[in-house]
Amino acid sequence: MTSIDGEQSSLVPHCELCSTAMTLIGRLPRISLQPSVQVFRCLSCNHVVSAEHRLSAPSGEATARGG
């Protein structure tokens, strides 16, 4: 039997035009409250997209409890 790989961890997005794995060409630092933005480029059709690199943190208002 062959073990089927469940999900493949792909850090880079795929081009929405030709479905090709995009390459990280740049990264913008976070400005003010906005998260850092990563710029990906498709080497196939030169399509450029920007993806916000959001951290998986359940940001919530600090519930200050006390009496």
Binding status of residue 12 toward Zn ion by CB under 5 A: no
Please check whether residue 20 is in contact with residue 14, taking contact to mean a CB–CB distance below 8 angstroms: yes
Query: Of the listed pieces 3-11, 31-39, 45-53, 57-65, which binds Zn ion according to CB under 5 A?
Result: 45-53
Among 12, 25, 45, 48, binds Zn ion (CB under 5 A): 45
Binding status of residue 15 toward Zn ion by CB under 5 A: yes
Residue 37's nearest CA partner among 24, 27, 49 is 27
Q: How far apart are CA 2 and CA 44, in angstroms?
A: 33
Residues forming the site for Zn ion (CB under 5 A): 15, 17-18, 20, 42, 44-45, 47
